Structure 1
Amino acid sequence: MLLFDGLVYLDVQKTGSTFVTAFLQACCRRPQVHYHQHDRLRRKLAPGAVGVISVREPASQYLSLFRYGLDGKGGLYHRLKDHGVAEVYQPTQEAFETFVEILLQPETAPLLHDSFEPVARKFDMGMMTFRHLLLSLKWPLATLKRLPRDGLPTAYPRLRLWSEALRQEHLVADLQTLVARHPDLFDLEAAQAFLAPRPRINRSDRGAGLSTDLPAPLMARLLQREDLIYRTFYPHLLPEGQADLTV
């Protein structure tokens, strides 16, 4: 979480957050108040403050996590290693599909986050949606405990802390839109220079040939478990007949 006077950035893991954080620290006109990587907002936002969150299509997010683990990096890799599951990290499509299957199993939830299992079972929720909600809700665990099983989709638009979303797939364009909507918050010249074409950062090279084209049954389970993110940000990727339920 990166907090400025008048803006908060909710830096969900594996959503381009390294780039966004660097952009905001270089281009925001307002003084920085606090920064704690991937942490929750634990204070009251000032009236009128802009909430910004970054998101990523969940299948791509799983692949990014897997490729990061191929390099022996990341908290998830070390958690799985500690529980004897690290052998799944092989640079093959079959291994990636097995990785997704493991992460989608409710019984794996305690390995992913200490507080994830009851939420995963209650809402039939996947890890990427859980990570998103940890940052996008105030007091997320208490809020999720209080909500009824079927109450999250309707409550989420009311409870979320953000008003602006940055899609990892369109990061530069979405940042340009953010600057255009809130020119008082940004040094426009610095923003234009920062968003000029440049090499990508924080990128793993192993597993570059792997694909998010998963077998249909596995993809159906992923869509079900990560339903909130798909409906909110990627309704065009839902099967026909489901996108009209977007929250």
Structure 2
Amino acid sequence: MLLFDGLLYLDVQKTGSTFVTAFLQACYRKPQIHYHQHARLRRALAPGTLGVISVREPLAQYRSLFRYGLDGKGGLYHRLKDQDLDEVYQPTQEGFETFVEILLAPESARLLHDSFGPVARKFGIGLMTYRHLLLAMKWPLATLKKLPRDQLHSAYPDLRIWRESLRQEHLTDDLRDLAARHPDLFDATAVEAFLAPRPKINPSARGAELSTDLSKPLMARLLERESLVYKTFYPEALAAHRARIG
């Protein structure tokens, strides 16, 4: 979470948040108030604060997390290692699919995040949707505990604390558009200078050749578990994936 006077950025993991954070710190006109990487909102917001969240297609997030683990990095890698599951980290398509299967298995939820198990069982959501909800709503765990299991999708638009979203796949364009929609908040010269072409930040070194063409049953499970993120941000990708798997 990165809080400025007038703007709150919700920095979901593996969504280009390092780049977005650097962009905001370089281009936003008003003072920074607080920064705690990937933290939830735990304070009252001033009226009129603009909420911004970054997102990424869930399948791409799974692949990115797997590649990060191939380098022996990340909290998820260490959680799986503690459970003697780190042998899954092999730079092969089979290794990637086994990784996705582990993350989608209901019995794995308690291993992936301390509070994920009850929420996963109640709503049938996947890790990427869970990570999104932890930052997208104020007091997310208490809110999800009170929410009926069949009302997550319908209630989400009213529960979310963000108004603008940034897609990792179109990050430069989305950041430029964000600044254009709020010219009073951003220094236009700094925006253009920052968004000039530059090397990628924080790339994973291994697994670049891995395909996201998962088996049809596994892909169907992933789409079901991550449907909130797909329906909210990637409806066209969701339709394309469903058409592929039939």
TM range (shorter): over 0.9
- The match for 1:163 is 163
Please tell me the residue identity of whatever aligns with 2:81.
Answer: K
2:73 is aligned to 73
Match of 2:50 in 1: 50
Q: CA deviation at 1:144?
A: 0.4
The corresponding residue for 2:34 is 34
Give the match for residue 82 of structure 1: 82
In the TM superposition, what whole-angstrom CA distance separates every residue of 1:145-170 from its partner, at most 9, and x where no partner exists?
00001111111000100000000000
Secondary structure, in 3 states, of the residue corresponding to 2:184?
A: helix
Task: Give the TM-score, by structure 1 length.
Answer: 0.96
1:12 aligned counterpart, secondary structure: coil
Displacement of 1:212: 1.1
- What is the aligned partner in structure 2 of residue 151 from structure 1? 151
In structure 2, the partner of 1:226 is 226
Local SS of the residue matching 2:176:
helix
Alignment match, 1:138: 138
TM-score between both structures, scaled by the size of structure 2: 0.97
Give 1:63's aligned residue.
63
Write out per-residue CA displacement over residues 5-36 of structure 1, whole angstroms, 9 at most, x where no aligned residue: 00000000000000000000111111000000
Task: Return the alpha-carbon distance in structure 2 between the equivalents of residues 144 and 137 of structure 1.
Answer: 9
Question: Equivalent residue for 1:203?
Answer: 203
Compute the displacement of 1:54 (Å): 0.2
State the one-letter code of the partner of 2:157: P
Percent identical among aligned pairs is 76
Between the aligned partners of 1:136 and 1:233, the Cα distance in structure 2 is 13
Are 2:25 and 1:25 aligned? yes
Residue 70 of structure 1: how far off its partner (Å): 0.2
Deviation at 1:46, TM superposition (A): 1.0
Displacement of 1:205 after TM fit? 1.6
Q: Deviations over 1:191-243 (max 9, x none)?
A: 11000111111001200101111111111000000010000000112247x89
2:212 equivalent in structure 1: 212
Q: Which consecutive residues of structure 1, in runs of 5 or more, have no partner in the other structure?
A: none
SS at match of 2:9: strand
Secondary structure at 1:133 match in 2: helix
* Count of aligned pairs between the two proteins: 242
Give me the whole-angstrom Cα distance separating, in 2, the residues matched to 1:188 and 1:40: 29
Query: What is the identity, as a one-letter code, of the residue corresponding to 1:144?
Result: L
Name the structure 2 match of 1:238.
Answer: 238
AA of the residue aligned to 2:89: Y
The AA in structure 2 aligned to 1:131 is: R
Q: Which residue of 2 aligns with 1:117?
A: 117
Give per-residue Cα distances to partners, 1:104-130, cap 9 Å, x unaligned: 001000111000000001000000000
Output the amino acid matched with 1:195. Answer: L
Name the CA distance, whole Å, in 1 between partners of 2:25 and 2:214.
37
